[in-house]
Every structure is written in structure tokens, then in C-alpha cells.
Amino acid sequence: MANFIKPLSRARSLNLAAALICTGLVGCALYLQYFDGQDPCPLCIFQRVFYILSGMIFLLAALINPKSTGLRILAVLTFLSSLAGALVAGRQIWVQHLPPDQVPPCLPSLGSLFRYLPADQVISMVLKGSGDCAIVTWRLFGLSMPEWSLLFFILLSGISLANLVSCHEKKSRQDRA
């Protein structure tokens, strides 16, 4: 019981905060979808998947509070997941800034694509972007949803890197002792 009451370590606090950020972002996306009528495009759905994946890994790291090697592995996994999400968000931003005559045509729903095509073809088609990914229907402080998403993926990548630096500093202190 005393261990539970102790203040959380820096890495554990960062991981818990990152997991809560991911949860909040997915919650906001679901709110905008179901209560504000903002239907997600395929690239938005892929970004949600990377938020969920990152959040689950951050939560796992916060709950089990792994030693240096385990924390390093989980930090690399969250970094890779956040980086993949940032790339998807960046792709959507690029599609949104294309001239109207260069915007790719709209795709059928993801469910239909997965029903009739192999997964690798679906992923390839979705990552190319489509017309529905180019439509900006929501802005906050002048930034579109994928622009905000990119900023949050960069933040999550930074938290992952902070965990890696923390492991390195801890190892350096142990080597000096």
C-alpha cells in the first residue's frame, strides 16, 4: 500500500499523462463524430488507431513501471506509433492543401474496402488520401483537425523521447556509481 501512495516517478507520470492525452483525443473525436456530425475520413480513422495504440502502450508503461530496458522498449514502441500517426496526419494535411483539381476521388467506406479488397491494398489506397480527406469541416484557432492531430502526435513523440533520455540518464548515473 505504501508503494501506491508514493509519488509517481517522472517516467510513470509522463506515461500516465500521455495515456490520458490519447484517451481524451479519441474521446473528442468520438464526440465530434456522434454529437457534432463530423464523419471521419479514412485517414482520420487511421489516426485514431495510432492514438489508441500509443495510449495503450503508454498506459501499460504507467501501470507496470518497467525497469530501464522495458521502459526503453515501450518508449521506442510509442515513438514509432506516434511517428506513424504523425505521418498519416501530415499526409492528410498535404491532401487538404492540394489544388481542387488534384484532389483524389472519394473512396467507399472502410468497411466496404475491407470487405472486397485485401488489407494491404486498402491501406495503400487509404494512405494515398481521397476527396473526403481533403474537406476541412472543423477548425479551432485556425487549425484543422489533422493539423491539431499532428501537433499532438509530435507531443507524444516528445514524451517517448523524454522516456528514452530518462533511461539513458538513469543508466549513466548507475555506471558512475
Q: Where along the chain do its domains lie?
A: 10-176
SS3 labels along the chain: CHHHHCCCCHHHHHHHHHHHHHHHHHHHHHHHHHHCCCCCCHHHHHHHHHHHHHHHHHHHHHHHCCCHHHHHHHHHHHHHHHHHHHHHHHHHHHHHCCCHHHCCCCCCCHHHHHHHCCHHHHHHHHHHCCHHHHCCCCEECCEEHHHHHHHHHHHHHHHHHHHHHHHHHHHHHHHHC
User: What does the pLDDT read at residue 4?
Assistant: 47
- Note the CATH architecture for domain 10-176: Up-down Bundle (1.20)
**Rounded mean pLDDT of the chain?**
81
Note the pLDDT tens digit of each residue in 59-89: 998 888 777 788 888 989 999 999 999 999 9
Q: What is the mean pLDDT of residues 17-29?
A: 94
Q: Give the percent of the chain with pLDDT over 90.
A: 33
Q: What is the mean pLDDT of residues 82-106?
A: 84
Note the pLDDT tens digit of each residue in 30-57: 998 899 888 888 888 889 999 999 999 9
